[in-house]
Amino acid sequence: MPYANPGREAEPEPGRAGPPDRRALLRMIPSLGGLALLAGPLAGRAAADGAADGAVDRAAAGVTGAARGPSGHAPTAARYAAGPILKPLPPDLFISYGTNAETRWEALRDTGLHVPNDRFFVRNHTATPLIDAATWRLRVHGAGVRRPQELSYAQLRSMPSVTVDAAIECAGNGRSFFGTQQGQQASGTQWRLGAVGVARWRGVPLAAVLRRAGLSSQAVDVMPSGLDANYVSDGVDLGRVRRPLPIAKALDDVLLAYEMNGEPLPPDHGFPVRVVVPSWIGISSIKWVGDIEVSAEPLSSPWNTRFYRLFGPGYPDGGSPPLAEQVTRDAVEAGRQIARVSVKVRTTPFLTRTRQSKLPAPTADAETVTRAALAVLGRHDLTRPVRLLGVAVEYTMPE
């Protein structure tokens, strides 16, 4: 069932940047003392959890239609919420844009690093599907695997799991500022700064599932597809939301997540299983995943050819390469007293080192907080060659 989205959200997005260096850290530290939530290449934290239980008794119930993947295969049935978004969107917590909902920054006061599930922003192309975990299947297939798989929810949960702290951010976050600050209106949802959130995700590394399927040395791309309704743009049915990942990224730190902040994924955030792609733009983290194609040649979809590329002066006639790594941004709740500064540096997908410093006295002075954060960064050993995947600055208020 196609679902027409009048918002044209999947438009070419603003520029991108690589992992932050020492100078980039200065841009992460707020100009006013406060609580910062950092996105972009965010420092992830992971720990091996061992084998997960296979319980499905917390699954959402109810199915009606068949949700077909790009190949026409229909392993999973789904029905759809009455509106585009299922969870309540009280106006003191969200700004609603129809299929999308932005978190108000003031709603995050005192929430800490992890955004609560009921306050996490929602980015839908169509409407939230309601999927029964007991009938859900994940199909892994293509020329890049030797043993195609069809995994149930219980089978996936029985595999060894990891837990990762990671941000998901829509590539268009902050789009409204093109109009209000630069006088150049950009099409698509007019996000302010609330299309981003950090959560603690638990699930199975995508690499483990690919190896279970007999990953071939000839594999090139991996394309997850969602089970939400087909997306229609300008009257053209573009099919399921899907976007390829290079095999190197798929084998690095990508997660097939089934828990969010210690609870089963809420429907609006991908129940029963979603992809989480740390440090990449949000469209890469496909929700309601039901199909993964592994190819022996490059794959494409509208979401890496028509959308999520840069066009215009300064870019090639055919547009930029598809956007991948997320830019680094921060947002601040001003005027808060800061008692402690922590700087986390991630140098491998599942290894984060933390250094912290207690301030002599709680302060909201930006210069004092900035100096403290730079001093803490200096205590990290970045002199030897490292692959710097992310830096996160966290502030702790007085108890």
* 120 part of a folded domain: yes
Q: Is the pLDDT of residue 388 over 70?
A: no
CB 128 within 8 Å of CB 86: yes
Which is higher by pLDDT, 20 or 345?
A: 345
Looking at residue 393, what is its pLDDT? Answer: 64
Q: Residue 92: left (phi > 0), alpha (psi -120 to 50), or beta? A: alpha
Domain closes at, from 284, 305, 326: 305
CATH number at residue 133: 3.90.420.10
On whether both 203 and 61 belong to a single domain, the answer is yes
Looking at residue 71, what is its pLDDT? Answer: 45
Q: 321: which DSSP letter?
A: P
On whether both 382 and 250 belong to a single domain, the answer is no
pLDDT tens, position by position, 154-186: 999 999 999 999 999 999 998 998 888 778 888
On whether both 373 and 261 belong to a single domain, the answer is no
CB 255 within 8 Å of CB 200: no
* 330 part of a folded domain: no
* 329 part of a folded domain: no
CA atoms of 4 and 7, how far apart (whole Å): 9
Using the CB atoms, write b or e for 108-138: b if 16+ within 10 Å. Answer: beeeebbbbbebbbbbbbbbbbbbbbeebbb
On whether both 181 and 34 belong to a single domain, the answer is yes
Looking at residue 335, what is its pLDDT? Answer: 54
Beta bridge partners of 161: 50
On whether both 283 and 161 belong to a single domain, the answer is yes
On whether both 54 and 172 belong to a single domain, the answer is yes
pLDDT band, residue 369 (cuts 50/70/90): confident
Task: Give the SS3 label for residue 358.
Answer: strand
Query: Tokens 């469209």 sit at which residue?
Result: 283
On whether both 98 and 224 belong to a single domain, the answer is yes
Query: Tokens 């290894």 sit at which residue?
Result: 351
Q: Which residues contact 354 (CB under 8 A, 6 or more apart)?
A: 342, 343, 344
| Average pLDDT value over all residues in the chain | 78
CA 218 → CA 203, 246, 301, 327, distances in Å? 26, 12, 20, 31
CA 380 → CA 291, 351, 353, 367, 388, distances in Å? 41, 14, 8, 21, 12
pLDDT band, residue 146 (cuts 50/70/90): very high
Q: Is the pLDDT of residue 6 over 70?
A: no
CA atoms of 366 and 172, how far apart (whole Å): 28
Q: Is the pLDDT of residue 4 over 60?
A: no
Domain closes at, from 283, 305, 327: 305
Q: What is the DSSP string of 158-206?
A: TSEEEEEEEEEE-TTTTTHHHHHHHS---SS----S-SEEEEEEEEEEH
On whether both 292 and 346 belong to a single domain, the answer is no
Looking at residue 186, what is its pLDDT? Answer: 85
% of residues, the chain, pLDDT over 70:
70
* 345 part of a folded domain: yes
* 315 part of a folded domain: no
On whether both 7 and 143 belong to a single domain, the answer is yes
Which is higher by pLDDT, 192 or 277?
A: 277
CB 271 within 8 Å of CB 76: no
pLDDT tens, position by position, 281-334: 999 999 999 999 999 999 999 999 999 998 888 888 888 999 998 876 655 554
On whether both 301 and 343 belong to a single domain, the answer is no
Task: Give the SS3 label for residue 157.
Answer: helix
* 312 part of a folded domain: no
Give the domain range for residue 353: 338-396
pTM of this structure = 0.72
Which is higher by pLDDT, 266 or 6?
A: 266
**Count of structural domains within the chain:** 2
On whether both 97 and 218 belong to a single domain, the answer is yes
Task: Give the SS3 label for residue 371.
Answer: helix
CA atoms of 147 and 320, how far apart (whole Å): 36
Looking at residue 245, what is its pLDDT? Answer: 97
On whether both 254 and 386 belong to a single domain, the answer is no
Task: Give the SS3 label for residue 260.
Answer: strand
Query: Tokens 């912290």 sit at which residue?
Result: 356
* 116 part of a folded domain: yes
Q: Is the pLDDT of residue 147 over 90?
A: yes
Query: Tokens 């093109």 sit at which residue?
Result: 178
* 60 part of a folded domain: yes
